[in-house]
Amino acid sequence: NWMNPKTASMVQELVKEKAVEALKKCFASRMEFGTAGLRAAMGPGISCMNDLTIIQTTQGFCCYLEQSFGNLKERGVVIGYDARAHPPSGGSSKRFASLAAAVFISRGVPVHLFSDITPTPFVPFTVSHLGLCAGIMVTASHNPKQDNGYKVYWENGAQIVSPHDKGISKAIEENLEPWPESWNTEEALKSPLLKDPYQDVHTQYFKAIQKHCHHREINKSSQVKIVHTSVHGVGHTFVQSAFKAFDLHPPYAVEEQKDPDPEFPTVKYPNPEEGEGVLTLSFALADKEGASVVLANDPDADRLAIAEKQESGQWRVFSGNELGALLGWWIFHCWRQQNPDTAAVKNLYMLSSTVSSKILRAIALKEGFHFEETLTGFKWMGNRARDLLDQGKTVVFAFEEAIGYMCCSAVLDKDGVSAAAIAGEMVSYLATKNISLSQQLTTIYEEYGYHISKNSYFICHDQDVIRSLFDRLRNYGGQKDSYPTECGRFSISAVRDLTTGYDSNQTDKKAVLPTSRSSQMITFTFSNGGVATMRTSGTEPKIKYYTELCAAPGNSDVTHLKKELDDLVDAIVENFFEPVKNKLQPKPE
C-alpha cells in the first residue's frame, strides 16, 4: 500500500539491481533543514525531495509556527511554487505545494495557496502584504532540473535566520510520522481554509513596484529595444507585466525559452550566471530584432543578468558586481532628483553582502548616505532592511554579487522581476542621452573610483584539507593566533576572521558581523586598496575567493589596475592556497 507508487517502484528497481551506492544516496541521511530551507534532488528516500519528506518537513514547520505564534490560526501562511517537475518520481513543485497546504489545513491553519506558478519574490511580498505568519516557496531556483527546494520566509517578510532553522529542524524530527490528513490534498483543496491569493497579489505587487520602484517616465518614441529570457522558468508573463506597469515597451521574449519547461531543453544549466551559453538564443533574437540589451532571469525569477551589445558587435555580459554599481547608481540618481532636500540623505541606506563589490560604499561616502555590509546570503540583507525600516529609515537598494538585487523595499529579498523593469527604465533613460550601460559604468568608476573584482574557487571534498588551509592562515609561520602581514609583495593592513570573531581593525579586536564556527571565512584588506575574502560554501564542496581592487577616484589607469589585481590573485593562490594545492581541484573551465 504505497502512497506514491512511483518512488516505491524506483526503490524496488534499485533493490533489484543491487544499486547500493544509489540507495545510499537516497537513504543514508535526512536532508538538513537550514536557513535556506531544503535543496536536494527529487526522488525516493529521506535524502531526497518527495511527498513524504515534504509532509514531514511541513509538519515540523507547522508545529514550530504553532509554538511561535499564538494567532497562527487567524493569520495563516502563503505557499507558492515554480514549474519544476520530475516525472520518474512523480515529484513536482505544484504537488509538493498542495501537500504542504494539506498539512497546514489539517491543523486548522488558513493557507493562501497560489493557483498557478509565481516568481519566488511573490511569496515574501504576500507575507508582508497580507500580514501572514510565514511563507513557503517550492523552488530550486537555478539548480539542475532534477533538484527541488523548499524556501521559508518569516512574518517579517525576510528569509529565516538562526535559530529558527534549528527549531524547525528539531520539530521535523519530532513529527516524522505523517498525520492522517497530511496526504489528503483533495480534501484540503476543498477546505474553506484554503484561499487563492493569485489575482489580488498579482494586482497589488505591480501596484507596489509601480509606486515604490518606478522612477521616471521615458519618452516612448526613444525607447530602446530589449530582449528578455526567462530560461524556461516562471518569469515571462511577470516581466512583461512589470514593463507595462512602468509604461515601457514590452521586451522581445525569446520564444523557445519563454514558457515554463521543467526539462530546460535549450540550456545545459538553467543559470544565467553561467553567462554566454545560456544567452545564445537571446543574442540571436537581439541581433534579429536590432536590440542592444538582453535581460535574463533565472527560472524562479529572483535574479537578473544583463548583457549589452558593444560597438565592436561583441556582447558584454556584466558581472553581478558591475550590475550592482549600475543599479545602485541609477536608484540613487533618481532618489536624489525626487528628494532635493539634502538632509534626507542621512536617512537613506544601501546594503550589500560582504563578498560583493564595495562600490556602494564609495558612492555612499561621496553622496552622504549610509552603506552597510552584511554576511553573505540575502537572508541577512532582508532582515537588516526590515530592522532599518522599522527604525524609520529608507532602504532603497541591496545586492549580492551572485546577481541578486532588491531594488525597493516592497519585497525584502532579491527580486528579478522588479529588477528587470528598473533595468529597462535605466537602459531606456540612458538611451535618450545616447549613453550605453558600458559607458555609464565607466562614468560611475571615474566619479567614485574603479572597482575591479575577480572571483573564483577551488573544489575540495576533504574537510581536513580545508581546515588545515585556514588554520595555517590563523597560525601563520607557525606562530599561534597570528595572521599573515603580507602576501607576496602585497602588504596586509587588516584581517577579519568571521570563523573566530577576530577583527584587527576594531579597537576591541572583535568582529562586528556575526561569526559562525561551522564555516570558514577570512577577509584580508591590503594597503593598495585590495580586499580578498576566502570562504567555504555551506552547500558545495568549494573554497571560494572574492577579490576586489578599490581604486581612489581619479585613478583611471585601468590596465594597470587590472594587472595589479591579477598579481594580487596570483599571490594569494601562491601563498595561501599553494601549500595544499595538490589536494585542490581548480574550477572547471
Ligand X SMILES: *[C@@H]1O[C@H](CO)[C@@H](O)[C@H](O)[C@H]1NC(C)=O
Residues annotated as catalytic are: 141
- Per-position x/- string for 221-260, each x denoting binding to ligand X as judged by CB under 6 A, each - no binding: xx--------------------------------------
Among the residue ranges 95-103, 216-224, 342-350, 372-380, the one whose residues contact ligand X (CB under 6 A): 216-224
- Count Cβ atoms within 10 A of the Cβ of residue 67 and give its class: 0-12 exposed, 13-18 middle, 19 or more buried: exposed
Answer for which of 219, 310, 482, 485 binds ligand X (CB under 6 A) is 219
Among the residue ranges 196-204, 218-226, 291-299, 463-471, the one whose residues contact ligand X (CB under 6 A): 218-226
- Per-position x/- string for 517-546, each x denoting binding to ligand X as judged by CB under 6 A, each - no binding: --------x---------------------
- Estimate to the nearest angstrom the gap between the alpha carbon of 219 and the chain centroid: 33
Give the shortest CB-216-to-ligand X separation in angstroms: 12
Site for ligand X in 264-303 (CB under 6 A): none
31 contacts 43 by C-beta, under 8 angstroms: no
Among the residue ranges 183-191, 217-225, 283-291, 509-517, the one whose residues contact ligand X (CB under 6 A): 217-225
Give the shortest CB-528-to-ligand X separation in angstroms: 11
Per DSSP, the residues of 425-485 read HHHHHHHHTT--HHHHHHHHHHHH--EEEEEEEEE---HHHHHHHHHHHHBGGG-TTB--S
Q: What is the distance between the alpha carbons of residues 449 and 315, in angstroms, rounded to a whole number?
A: 25
- Count Cβ atoms within 10 A of the Cβ of residue 575 and give its class: 0-12 exposed, 13-18 middle, 19 or more buried: middle
Nearest to 487 by CA among 523, 452, 449, 536: 523
Amino acid at 135: G
Give the shortest CB-490-to-ligand X separation in angstroms: 13
Give the shortest CB-524-to-ligand X separation in angstroms: 10
Site for ligand X in 475-514 (CB under 6 A): 493-494, 505
Contact between 440 and ligand X (CB under 6 A)?
no
Provide CB contacts within 8 A for 302, sequence distance 6+.
119, 120, 121, 141, 404, 413, 414, 415, 416
Whole-number Cα distances in Å, 441 to 273, 277, 432, 450: 19, 24, 16, 10
Site for ligand X in 22-51 (CB under 6 A): none
319 contacts 452 by C-beta, under 8 angstroms: no
Report the residue number, 125 or 526, with the smaller CB distance to ligand X: 526
Report the residue number, 347 or 493, with the smaller CB distance to ligand X: 493
Give the shortest CB-370-to-ligand X separation in angstroms: 14
Report the residue number, 77 or 550, with the smaller CB distance to ligand X: 550
Report the residue number, 52 or 224, with the smaller CB distance to ligand X: 224
Report the residue number, 353 or 525, with the smaller CB distance to ligand X: 525
533 contacts 548 by C-beta, under 8 angstroms: no
Among the residue ranges 19-27, 136-144, 219-227, 325-333, the one whose residues contact ligand X (CB under 6 A): 219-227
Give the shortest CB-223-to-ligand X separation in angstroms: 9
Report the residue number, 442 or 516, with the smaller CB distance to ligand X: 442
Give the shortest CB-52-to-ligand X separation in angstroms: 50
Q: Does residue 242 sit in helix, strand or coil?
A: helix
Considering CB under 6 A, how many residues would be counted as binding ligand X? 8
Contact between 434 and ligand X (CB under 6 A)?
yes
370 contacts 360 by C-beta, under 8 angstroms: no
Q: What is the distance between the alpha carbons of residues 502 and 514, in angstroms, rounded to a whole number?
A: 11
Q: Is-cis flag, bond preceding 178, omega within 30? A: no
Q: What is the distance between the alpha carbons of residues 405 and 407, in angstroms, rounded to a whole number?
A: 6
Question: Which residues of this protein are in contact with ligand X, per CB under 6 A?
Answer: 219, 221-222, 434, 493-494, 505, 525
